[in-house]
Structure formats: structure tokens, C-alpha cells
Chains A and B, each alone.
Chain A
Amino acid sequence: MPRFLHSADWQIGKQFGQFEPDEAALLAEERFAVVERLAQLATVQAVDAVLVAGDVFDAQTVADRTLFRLFSAMAGFAGPWLLMPGNHDAALAESVWTRAARLGAIPGNVTVCLAAEPVVLEAATTVVLPAPLTQRNTHADLTDWFDGAETPAGLLRIGLAHGSVTGILAEDIDAPNPIAAGRADSARLDYLALGDWHGTRRIDDRTWYAGTPETDRFRANDSGQALLVEIDRAGEVPRVTPVVTGRYRWSSTSAALAVASDVDALIERLDGLGSADVVQLALSGHCDLAVHRRLTEAIARSRGRTRSLEADLSCLQLAPTPEDLERLAADGYLGDVIEQLGALQQDDDTDRAGTAREALVLLAGLLDARRGGAGADLRKDADAEAR
């Protein structure tokens, strides 16, 4: 019974600018680590081949070191690997693939499908029909040729393609590179392994997007998996099992704070985050200065634990209360200013409102620092600026 591991969209060489430098480096590093995990998985599962449906590399011109690192990361699985160029690493006249070949970086068990030609995997009694991209983008359906491709009887027909299944995927992914819906049927394929969509997705019984094995964006899309495909015999519906391969959990949270319990729940959640979490937090609503302080403290704590926590509090209005003022010993004109800033947050101009909010946070921080109490962050900031 042939077994395959279906993966795609490794996006080797991708960088993560939205994160702090140390975090970004670790996230980029993880893309090599996940390939090692895939190799390990393939070995453990004793698959007949690993099929990678495009976008192995994030760009054509990557450093030599990156090339070598990738192929050495694949060393954990000695069986056949079928890599196919996608739109990011299309098989152009001069491409990352030609360079890898020139450098001698590609191991013998790795086949790069640079041309639309059948690849026979004899051990797996399988013929793979690849539809590599030879341009960055194309508006022709590169899988057309599958329909007419003759393969020896008795061998499985597995398609390998990269693009968007027409009429099914939203248009916010790469709209070009169309793949006709129902290609698996029309081309009499036993399985059509697709890439380009970063989340795992089933199109039909025989057509799947594997998704990227290590999540690389916040959009909730069920990524970070590979597909274990088992086909009993030609013509049978394959068994497809998603296997988690990703390390980091990317999550994007937005919350509107209104009452104290909202805050408590949020802080609880923040405190529950772990080292595998990559979190984007956007808060809105309003809170008083004390709550704001708690929140920022919780965020700071959480940052220490998570791989990354980006908190956007710019839409969270601060509503200083008399208790706040007392706590901060903000008497006299300081109190007046705090009140005034609180009111300025209501400004229609979001920039001005944001500035007022920021000013309020700053002032509160300074007052906190003066008391020698909390607000250590702000004081630290303030000291840093004063330097």
C-alpha cells in the first residue's frame, strides 16, 4: 500500500519583519527545523515518497548557505523526495533550482520536477505527474496535460500542482496559476497534491492542499501540518491524515474591554500563553489607569514566556478615575492635565486621540515612577529617553 507524505509551501528564506529581531530570527530558523521534522515523520511513517507541491523557497536568489541548509535538513529521510517549483521558486531559465544543481547541493534521493514530465516511482508503483511553474505567474492551467498523460496500467497516478483551484478558493490568495476544479477526476488521478494555500484544505476526496508545515502568518487557516496519504490501490479513495508538524501556534486576538471581568479573562488568557505561542493582540474599548497598568504588566509577563507577543493597545481608551488620581498622587494641575487628556481621547481625529492616550500613559507612568511603584516599564522607557 503506497504511502506518501504531502507537504508544500516551505517558504525557505522567509523573513518576519513584523517581529522584533530576535523573534524574527527564531521564526525564520524554525522553517529549517520543520523540514527536519518532516524528514523524521517520513522516516517514522515509512512513506514511499515525500511530495512537496511548490514554494519550497520563498525567493529565487537565496544565499548558498540557505540552499545547503535546506538540503541537509532533508537528510533525515533517505527515501525519495519530489520537489516541485511553485510561483516563488519557479523553474525559470536561471532559478534557485539550477543554482542548487550547479552547486551540487541536491542529494541523490531528491528529484526536482522542473518539467511537466511524468516521474515514475517504481517502488511505489506510482507515476507522479508534476505541473511545475516555469514562469512566476501564469494564467494557463498547467495541469491540463494531466488529462492526456498516458501512464502504464496498474500504476497510481498522482498529480502534483501549485496554484488556486478555480472557483473554490477566495481571491485573496495568489489568484493566478489556476487549477481546474475536478482535475483529479478529469485526469483520472488517484490523488492530486496541491500547494500554494498555506492552510490544510480538502478540495475533494482526492484533491488536497497540504498547507505550510510551519505557520507563517496570523490568518487562521489550519496550517502547520503535513498530510499522510495512503492509497490502497488505484482507483480507491485515498486516506488522508493531517499530521501536526508546526512548532509555533500563531494566534491573533482582538478584544473590546468594557467591564472588569473582560480584563480578568484577558489577563488569564495572557498568563496561559506558552513558549510556542506567537500572538497578536489588539485591544479596544476603555479602561481606567489601574487596569491599564495591570494589562501592561500582564503583557510584559507574557512576553517573557511567549515566542512573540505583539500587543496593540492604541484603540484602548484610558478613563482615569478619581481612584487613579489618588493612587498616582496626581493632585493640583497634574490632575487637571490627566482629566484633560482623558477627554482628548474622544477626539474625532484618531491621531489626536491616540496622542492624548499615549500622553496619558506616559504621565501615568511618570507619576507611578515617582511613587517608586509600578509602571516600571514606563520609567525604564523614560530613563532610556533621558539618556
Chain B
Amino acid sequence: MKLNRIRVEQLRQFRQPIELRDLAPGLNLFTGPNEAGKSTLVAAIRAAFFERHRSGSVDDLRPWGDSAAAPTVEIGFELGGQPCRLVKTFLARKRCELEIGRDRLDGEEAENRLAELLGYQHAGRGASKAEHWGIPGLLWISQGSAHELHEAVGHATDHLRNALEQSLGEVAASGGDEILDKVRTLRNAVLTESGGKPRGSYKEALDRVATLSEAIRALDERIGRYRERVDGLARLRAAHAADEAEKPWLAFRSQEREAATRLATARGLQTELDGARERRTQAEARIGLLRNQFDAFAREQALAEQRAAALAEAEQACRVAAAPVEAWRSRYEQAVHTRESARRVLKAARQRELHQGLLREAGSCREGLAACRARRERAEAAQQKVTELERRLAASEIAAADLTRLRTQDRALADLRLQQATAATRLVYRLSPGSSLAIGDATITGQGARELIDAATLHLPDLGEIDIVPGGADLPALRARCEDLADAQRALLARLGLTSLDEAEARVIVHQRLAEDLRAAEAELAALAPDGLDRLRVEEARLQARHDEVARALDSLRGDKVASAVADRDRAVVMDSGGAVRRDLAGEVDCAEDVRPGDVRAGASMPTGRAPIDSGGPDPIETGEDGAIETGALEPGVAEAEAAEQAASHSLEQARESLHAAQLAVEKANTVRLAAEREHLAARVSLEAPDRAARVAAIGQALTDTRAEQASLAARVETLTAALADARVDILEQDVVRFRDSAEQLERQHAERREQLMRLEVELQTEGAAGDEEQRAGLVRDHAQAARRADELQRRAAALDLLLRLLDERRQALTRRLQAPLQKHLNRYLQLLFPQASLEIDENLTPGPLTRPAAHGAETGRFEALSFGAREQMGVISRLAYADLLAEAGRPTLIILDDALVHSDAERLAQMKRILFDAATRHQILLFTCHPANWRDLGVAARSLEGSRPG
């Protein structure tokens, strides 16, 4: 196929016609800037072929805003050596004309013819799409789609295969793929694609078979049960009828009655036996009673004798018991006496002791009182002395400050006087004896000196007077001060009652001595009366009182002296007999077990006859003015007397108890004897009853009779027992029960069976009405039909599976044969582009992995993994290879490249240009580009679309 002319009008930007004439059979290069209309031109060519002229989906061909446009494409071309012309007008005037040689075709016919010739399809509805484009879709490469190879090849595969098969001279399947698809669809409708499991109607059929089988099985079970029960009904009826005829329970009833009769007889025997046994038992009881009575008489006799013996024994016991009582009584009386004596001794001893104590106390009181009084007197003297000393001390006391002042004043005065003396006018005189002079008021005689500190008038007798005024100014001042000081001293002394310092000093010494005396006096007082003088006086008074009291007590005691003498007499008795009593008691305790009453009496008499011994000791005497009672050396002490008294009391107690015990024993023995006497009397009374002998005889007779009766009854019982054992009442009873139960069992069974029959009849009637067997027949029929259908489908599925497998295998085998020529063509171009590379072709005739030599051996990569540029190049050469194949098969080829290979680098592009040039020797190639410079070395003149526009 070679285009030689293209004319486009009222189509997009080509509102005015544009015509490209004289297209070369090989390479045609169309250039123009963007928007120049290159792609529009390509679109026009596509529309002319692919779109139905009647299509309403070609609005995009309309020039902008021109609703009345009738886009028209006119193409002149040569096909199969015949000149052709295609004119197609869309939209406003829908027309299609095709001339092939002399043939003229219109409308759809023309379109279909073209599609058949070129290997593409028209869309059923709407705009034509890639899937319809077939071979032209593969060879006409749209802008930027050179690299998208697989899809284009896919859409063209059938056409390719058809074309190629012819070229190979093979007989390929016409529409084989269609059949294959259909078989696949059919097969996949009944079997799953992967597992080949039933699905769809096949599966439904199998399910239905299974469902029906199950239903039949269930129904079979029901029918089976129904039939069994029908058979059961027959058996029940037969059994029931047999029962009705035979009535087997009647036999058992009569057997039951017979057994009951025999049982009644046996029970009569039993009653008789029970009576005999009863009477025998009564006889035995009577025998027992009689024998008891008989024994009672014998026992009375024995009792009487026994009681007589007991009485004798009791009397003997009474005598024995009475014997020791007298001995014990005398011993008791003696013990009473002994104890009285001990008590008197004890009292005397106590009085004596009291008297002596008082005497001792009176002495001590007297001594204490004298001592106390002396001490008090001395203490009073000491007190007086202290008081005196204290008074004197106080009088002699000079305050220390006063003394100091005195001393200070004295020293100051002395100083002043010394100063006066120093400054004073010394008057030394030697007077003739007997002469006198008066100086001032003083008269002087003899010789002497005088220091005048003041103006003094010296009276010279008869002579007059001489005033002497001491020189020095301060003398008067000194004198004044002296006088002041002396006045002060005098005042102080006066206050102190002194006359001079010396006196004061003397008094200080006196005071100190007095203080020492006072301390001594106080110490003496403290020693005499540590608790004070008053305390001493109180003590003295207390002692005085005590002394008076003791004196009174002694006075009163002196009156009791007579009583004391009696006690002394008893003392010896007590002292002696106490030990004896104690000894006796010990002996009695020792031999109490063995001693006979007689011995006791002998022992008890031992202490008797012992005479009391008088003590010859002096009576207590009174000594001293207080009249204290003297105690003799032989008098017993209080403690001893108390011990004796206690021993006597104890002896008395023992004796009384023994006496009491002996008296009790006598009482007891008497009581026993009295009782024995009474019993003995009673026994004798009953023995001596008048009808006693007659009664004994009567009882003996009755006993004999009753024994005879008992023997006869025992024989009867034995006979009856044997008879009963033979009759076997228990077994007879069981027989009755057994026969009765059997009869009842049979009757019940019969009744139950009747009920069962009725029930079963009703049930079976109900179930029979369900028409199970007819229903089953229907199910079996349905099952057979379903099974048949499932079988058919199974066979069909297997057949489809087989068919699909075979078709697939064959088709693949064929495809493999078709791959070879394509490979050849592809390699031709490939070597130009990638030397030593190889490209695999898959079963869909699509390029597969590309293998190229690399630095480290061969390198294989998938087509999709190549770079965009490489893919584009591969896309172009693949298409060229397909074109070669098609050309060989005598199919029309036209290659259109719209701005292809723009991503190729210069080197590759150069190779591609060689390839294109080579391909153009076999195919017409229309190449549109906006880069004319890139294609300058293609060996053809570039046509500018701009230049092609008319006008």
C-alpha cells in the first residue's frame, strides 16, 4: 500500500483544503513547527480508515466553531498494484467512496472492504478504539506511543497470524481463536478454570442428584420402618387372635384357685399347731408357778432357822459391845479431873508471871524518873546561864562600823594634835615651886611646857595677864577641826556609852569572851535537852504517871495472893499425869487392832491409882517496897503449864471419843438385836400357820397333774409340726402368687396388645395416607432424570476440557512455528541497533527479553525494563519487522511515524535513520517531525506542511 495523495478539508485547523501530492513510495518526511497540523493530518488519515463515515463520534474533526462543517479526507493510494481512491466526508455530509481499480464502492461496503484489506475492524458503536485498529494500529505510530508495543501487537495478533500463516503456506485455522475462545467459555462455564471442579449448571446438577439421593434414602428409611411396623401389626394381630381363642390366663386362674385351697388346708394345721403350742406354753407357765410356791414354803423354813441364828449372834454382839464402856467412862472422868488441875496450875503460873513483870516495871520507872528529873534540873540551870550570857553579850556588843569610825577618828585627832603641837606655841615654864600661874582657866605649877594652840591668857598672878597668841594662821583652823573631830568622837562615844577608844577596845575583847561562853553554855544545854527543855519535862511527867500506874497494879495484885497458893498445889498433879496420859494414848493406838475388849479394859485401868505429888517449893514472897511477888525456883513456867493443860485437854477429848464410840457400839448392837428378835418372831409366826401342811400337799398334787398335761401337749405339737413341714405353706403361697401373677401378666399383655394394635393401626393408617411409596417413585424418577443430566454434563465437561486442551496445544504449536520468520526480520534491524543482541519472541508474537553483550558476559532484560528511548527504538524496529512479515505475506503495509524517536540520542538516531532508510526500500513510510534538522540526512527532501497549504 502506497499513499500518493492526501487532501484534507474543513478538518480542524485545515478549514481550507490542504493537499499533499506526489508522495514517494518510500520515505516521506513532513516537517512543521508545533500546531502546524502534522498530528491533524495523521488524525485525518486514521479517521478516513478507522471511523465509520456515519459515526457521530467524530466531533473532534470539526473545525472550531464550525457547526456546518463537513470534514473531508481524500486519499489516493495504490493497493495490490491497483490505484485506489478513498473519499470520506463526516458530520454535515456523511459520505464514503472507494475506488479500487475499476471497482467503486460506497458507504459501509467500502469501509468493510477496506478493513478487510488492511486488517482492522470498525467499532460497533461510537468512536473507533485501539482494539479495533488491528494492523494499522500497529504500524501507524501515534505521537509518543512508539514504546507501547504489547498492546498494539495484541490487537493485531489475529490479523498478523492470519497474514503470516498464509505467508508460511500453512493451513491455519480460520477463526480458530474464535472457536478456542468459545470452547474456553463453554468449558469454564461448567468447570472452574484452575482446578477443573464442577461449577455452574454442572455443579447444580450434581447437587440435585445428591439432594435427591438423600431424600430417597430418607424416604427409604421411613418406608422401611413403615413396612416393618406393618409386619409387626400382622404379628400382633395373629398373637392377639391366638390369645383371644386360647385365653391362656384361664388355666393359670384355675391353678391359682387350686393352690389357694391347699394353702387354706395347710393354714388350718398351722392354727391348730399354734393353739397346742399356746396351751403347752400355759402349762409350762403353770408348772413354773407351782414350783415357785413349793420353793417358797421351803424358803420360809430356812429363813426361820436363819433368823434364830442371827438373833443369837446379835445378842452375843450386844454383850461384847457393853464390856468396854465402863472402863472408858472411868478413864474419862479421870481425864476431866486431870484437866481441871492443869487449868488451875496454868492460872497460877500466869498470875505469877504478871506480878513479876509489874515489879520489874516499877523498878525501871523509878530509876527513869530520878534520872529524868536530875537532867531537867541541870538543863534548867544551863538555860539560865545561856540567857544571862546572851544578855551580857548583847550589852557588850559594839557595831564593827562604830569601832572602825572610832579608830579612824582617833587617828585623825592624833594627826591634828600632832599638827597643832607642831604649830603651837610652846610654853615652857619652870615655875618656882609653889607658884602658880593661871593660863586661862588652868593653873599651872612647877615646871612644864605647854603648847598653846589658841590664844591663851596667861594670868600672872598679880602681874596681870599675858595674852599669848600662837603664831601661824592655821592654828585656829586646826583647833577648830580638832574640836569638831573631838566633838564627833565624843558624840559617838556618848552614844556607845563609852568614854574613850580604849574603853571601846576593852569592851570588844569582853564581847568576844562572852560569845565563847555562850557557845559553851548552849552546847551544854543541847546535850542535856536535845529536844528541848519542855520535852524533858513531858518525859518526866510521863514517867511519873507510869510509875503511879504500876504502883496501883501492884497494890491490886497483892490482894490475889491466896488464889495463887491453891494453883501451886495442883501443879504437881498436872505435871505428872500429863505424860502418863500421853503414853496411854500412844499404847492404845498401837494395839487398837489386836486388843480384845477385855484387854482394853485392862489397858484403861493402867493410869488409875497414881497419887498426885505435892510440890514442896516455897510460896511466892513479896520483896521490895512495891510488894512484888517472888517466884520460886520450882514453880513451873507458863509455857510448861500451857503444854500440860493442852495435853490434858487432848487426853480428855480422846477419852470422851472412845467412850462415845463404845456407847455407840452398844447402841448399834442393841438395835441389831432388836431387829433380829422381830424377824425371828415373824418367821416363827408364818411357820406356825395352821393350814401350812395342807397347802404344801395341794401344790405338790397340782404340779404332778400339770406336768402330765404338758407332756401330752408337746407330743401333739410335734405331730402337727411334722404335718405342716410336709405341707410347705411358703411354697403354696408362692404358687398362688405365681399363678395369679402369670394370669394377670397374660391378661395385661393381652390388654396392652389390644391397645398397641389400636395405636399401631391408627398410626399406620395416618402414615399410609402420606403416600410415601408413590412419593418415592416420583423421587426415583426425578433422581434418574437428574443423574442422567449430571452424566450428560459430566461427559460434556470432560469433552470440553479435552477439546480446550487440544486446541490450546495445537494453537501454541502453530504459534511457535510462526515466530521464526518474525525473529528473522527483527534480528535484521536489531543488529543495526544493538550488534550481537538477540530478542525473543513469545507465543503472541510479542517481543520478549532482549539479550545484549555486556562487559561481563551476556545481559538479559525484559522489554519493559529498558529505558524509554530504547523501548521507543525497539518499538519502531519491531513494527518494521512486522511490516516486513506482512509485506512478505503480500499484505499492505504503510508506516506512519508521528514525531517518533524524539528520545533517541544522536548515535542511536543515526542507527535508526539507517534502519528507516532500509525499511523504506520495502515500505512507504510517512514521517512527521517538528525537528527537520534531525532528519536532514535521511536522503529525502522535507516537505513543510505550511508550504503545502493552498493559497
Contact = CB atoms under 8 A, between A and B. Distances in A.
A337 B807 contact: yes
A386 B800 CA distance: 12
Contact of B799 (A21, A61, A92, A362): A362
Among A14, A17, A66, find the residue whose CB has the most chain B CB atoms closer than 10 A.
A17
Interface in A1-43: 13-21, 24
A61 B219 CA distance: 12
Nearest to A330: B173
A244 interface: no
Contacts of B474: none
B659 interface: no
A94 B186 contact: no
A334 B176 contact: yes
A21 B783 CA distance: 11
B113 interface: no
Interface string B766-783: 011111111111101111
Contacts of A61: 223, 226, 767-774
A333 B175 CA distance: 10
A295 interface: no
Nearest to A64: B769
B182 A382 contact: yes
Interface in A300-352: 314, 329-337, 340-341, 344, 351
A334 B776 CA distance: 48
Contacts of A280: none
A51 to B, nearest CB: 25
B67 interface: no
Given A18-B784, A337-B806, A358-B798, A59 B765 contact: no
B811 interface: yes
B731 interface: no
Given A18-B784, A94-B761, A332 B174 contact: yes
Contact of A362 (B172, B776, B796): B796
B230 interface: yes
Given A334-B176, A386-B186, 4 more contacts: A61-B226, A63-B775, A92-B234, A333-B173
A19 B773 CA distance: 19
22 contacts: A17-B785, A58-B777, A61-B767, A61-B768, A61-B773, A63-B771, A66-B774, A92-B231, A92-B234, A95-B230, A329-B174, A332-B174, A333-B173, A334-B179, A340-B810, A358-B798, A358-B799, A359-B798, A359-B800, A362-B799, A385-B796, A386-B186
Contacts of B165: 332
B768 A336 contact: no
A366 interface: yes
Contact of B185 (A95, A332, A386): A386
Among B176, B226, B236, find the residue whose CB has the most chain A CB atoms closer than 10 A.
B176
B502 interface: no
A333 B186 contact: no
B933 interface: no
Contact of B183 (A20, A335, A358, A366): A366
B234 to A, nearest CB: 4
B800 A362 contact: yes
Interface residues of B, number: 61
Contacts of A354: 795
Contact of A386 (B189, B237, B788, B798): B189
Contacts of B776: 59
A102 B771 contact: no
A367 B227 CA distance: 56
A99 interface: yes
B781 A16 contact: yes
Contacts of A381: 796
A284 interface: no
Contacts of A291: none
B813 interface: yes
B802 interface: yes
Interface string B506-533: 0000000000000000000000000000
Interface in A227-267: none
B813 A333 contact: yes
A331 B173 contact: yes
Nearest to B202: A385
Interface string A52-72: 000000111111101000000
Interface string B208-242: 00000000000000010011001101101100000
Contacts of B227: 60, 136
B819 to A, nearest CB: 15
B764 interface: yes
B799 A355 contact: yes
